[in-house]
């Protein structure tokens, strides 16, 4: 048995986001190579096809040549103990932990106290099997393993034929924090899919964590290209929050924002730690946001989505005059994952696109209507581009000729043109 940290590569090239990920090299008892996962995520590519191919080729080359990287927060652990029916610890029992999705095995043995520990587990659902001579084989399924958490499994072995099994009830294993004191909130894949999320921005989930508030600041697209949501945790500045993506630092060292904001379809779980996080998150002073990406499995799976939002049915702002601004926003995408080699190599890719149309006339300058000349409380209405251009040109001519008379020109509204004047 051998384990090690994952190989991770991530980059942003001309608006195209992609990342590749390979889990640690596990080796089972029968010598089968470890499962490896390739992850590819693309959001709104803007470069040419040749540049895309070159970038992907560089990604694969880097994966093959790079060494192992740091990633403690990308792993989970499993530990527990086994005794016989009289309460005596069973020492030397062989414990096999198997990933149900990818099929990778990790094997260890119990110590003299009947306890075992399996580290370096990627987030997934696992099956545990305990074997010992003179005892029936113990088997437990549907054990969840979460990144930066520890799952506990305990059991009682009964004497009998090792070819027979003792099975527990699936889903009874709970995640207990008996070895740490951190305060965190975990968003599972089911929660990420089920919670209503504006603009399908996964970083907005951090606002649901107790003690989190949105930071009030104005950033343009060049300062925040990934549209991350700045959040103040426990009264601390948003720049003190650390970000992790598959165990890799994902924080902008200048502004303190997230570097790569993963697509909603690509996230398997999101953990927000607000207090007592480990010393390995040295750059964080407020909280830590850790995202884990999805992986391909031994079966092909795909998904697609599409949302459309318009101004129909939207309520008007009570503090501004007129109807809400016209808008049409479409968000669409999907994901695809599966095996390239059973129990060995997997691939996962996802895409998310956004198309938005806004009426530019709504944001143009307003000119007073004829009613506003006699009724000052009547709000102004926006002029269409031709009328606005004519009025601006006429006003420039009046100023140039230094006319002694000032004319108040009316704007065309609702298909008819009105003109009113005031003489001085």
What average pLDDT does the structure give for the chain? 74
- CATH number, domain of 138, equals 2.60.40.10
Q: Which domain holds residue 387?
A: 364-417
- CATH number, domain of 188, equals 2.170.130.10
Cβ–Cβ < 8 Å for 82, 91: no
The pLDDT tens digits for 137-187 are: 999 988 999 888 888 888 889 888 888 888 765 545 555 566 778 888 999
Q: Is the pLDDT of residue 309 over 60?
A: yes
CB within 8 Å of 24: residues ≥ 6 apart: 3, 4, 5, 6, 34, 75, 120, 122
Q: Which helix (H) or strand (E) holds 246?
A: none
Identify the CA nearest to 232 among candidates 216, 250, 244, 214: 214
The pLDDT tens digits for 176-202 are: 566 778 888 999 999 998 998 878 899
Identify whether 396 is part of a domain.
yes
Q: How far apart are CA 26 and CA 32, in angstroms?
A: 9
Say whether both 142 and 209 belong to one domain. no
What b-and-e string marks burial along 275-299, b requiring 16 or more CB atoms within 10 Å of the CB?
A: eebeeebeebebbbbbbbbbbbbbe
Confidence of residue 116 (pLDDT cuts 50, 70, 90): very high
Q: How far apart are CA 112 and CA 97, in angstroms?
A: 20
Q: Is the pLDDT of residue 215 over 50?
A: yes
Say whether both 196 and 154 belong to one domain. no
Say whether both 160 and 188 belong to one domain. no
Identify whether 411 is part of a domain.
yes
Say whether both 242 and 290 belong to one domain. yes
Q: Is the pLDDT of residue 105 over 80?
A: yes
Identify whether 218 is part of a domain.
yes
Q: How far apart are CA 330 and CA 353, in angstroms?
A: 8
Identify the CA nearest to 132 among candidates 103, 154, 163, 106: 163
Identify whether 21 is part of a domain.
no
- Locate 349 and state its tokens: 């890719």
- Hey, is 396 helix, strand or coil? helix
Identify whether 389 is part of a domain.
yes
Looking at residue 114, its pLDDT comes to 92
Looking at residue 45, its pLDDT comes to 44
- Locate 195 and state its tokens: 């919670």
Identify whether 19 is part of a domain.
no
Say whether both 191 and 251 belong to one domain. yes
The pLDDT tens digits for 229-278 are: 899 999 888 888 999 999 889 998 888 889 999 999 999 999 999 988 87
For residues 125-133, give the mean pLDDT. 92
Looking at residue 3, its pLDDT comes to 38
Say whether both 192 and 160 belong to one domain. no
Confidence of residue 38 (pLDDT cuts 50, 70, 90): very low
Total domains in the fold of the chain: 3
Say whether both 282 and 232 belong to one domain. yes
Cβ–Cβ < 8 Å for 390, 410: no
For residues 326-354, give the mean pLDDT. 91
| % of the chain residues with pLDDT over 70 | 64
Residues 118, 35, 259: CA angle, nearest 5 degrees? 85
């Amino acid at each position: 048995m051998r384990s090690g940290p994952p190989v991770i590569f991530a980059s942003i090239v001309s608006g195209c986001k992609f990342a590749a990920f390979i889990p640690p090299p596990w080796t089972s008892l029968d010598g089968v190579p470890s499962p490896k996962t390739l992850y590819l995520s693309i959001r709104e590519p803007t470069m040419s096809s040749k540049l895309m191919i070159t970038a992907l080729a560089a990604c694969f080359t880097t994966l093959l040549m790079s060494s192992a990287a740091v990633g403690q927060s990308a792993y989970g652990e499993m530990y527990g103990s086994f005794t016989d029916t009289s309460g005596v610890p069973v020492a030397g029992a062989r414990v096999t932990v198997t990933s149900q999705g990818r099929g990778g095995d990790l094997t260890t043995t119990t110590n003299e106290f009947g306890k075992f520990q399996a580290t370096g587990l990627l987030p997934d659902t696992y099956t545990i099997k305990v074997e010992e001579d003179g005892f029936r084989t113990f088997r437990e399924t549907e054990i969840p393993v979460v990144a930066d958490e520890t799952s506990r499994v305990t059991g009682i072995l009964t004497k009998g034929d090792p070819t027979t099994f003792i099975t527990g009830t699936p889903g009874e294993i709970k995640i207990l924090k008996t070895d740490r004191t951190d305060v965190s909130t975990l968003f599972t894949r089911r929660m990420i899919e089920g919670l209503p999320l504006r603009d399908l921005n996964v970083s907005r989930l951090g606002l649901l964590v107790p003690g989190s508030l949105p930071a009030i600041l104005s950033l343009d697209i060049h300062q925040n290209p990934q549209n991350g949501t700045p959040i103040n945790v426990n009264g601390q500045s948003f720049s003190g929050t650390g970000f992790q993506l598959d165990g890799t630092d994902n924080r902008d060292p200048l502004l303190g924002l997230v570097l790569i904001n993963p697509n909603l379809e690509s996230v398997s779980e999101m953990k927000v730690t607000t207090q007592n996080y480990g010393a390995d998150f040295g750059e964080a002073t407020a909280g830590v946001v850790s995202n884990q990406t999805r992986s391909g499995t031994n079966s092909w799976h795909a998904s697609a989505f599409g949302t459309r939002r318009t101004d129909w049915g939207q309520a008007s702002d009570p503090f501004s005059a007129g109807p809400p601004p016209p808008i049409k926003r479409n968000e669409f995408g999907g994901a695809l994952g599966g095996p390239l080699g059973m129990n060995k190599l997997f691939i996962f890719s996802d895409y998310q696109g956004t198309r938005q149309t806004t009426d530019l006339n709504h944001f143009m300058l307003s000119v007073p209507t004829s009613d506003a000349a006699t009724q000052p409380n009547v709000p102004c209405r926006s002029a269409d581009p031709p009328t606005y251009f004519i009025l601006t040109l006429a006003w420039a001519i009046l100023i140039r000729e230094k006319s002694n008379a000032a004319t108040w020109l009316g704007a065309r509204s609702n298909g008819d043109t009105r003109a009113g004047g005031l003489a001085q």
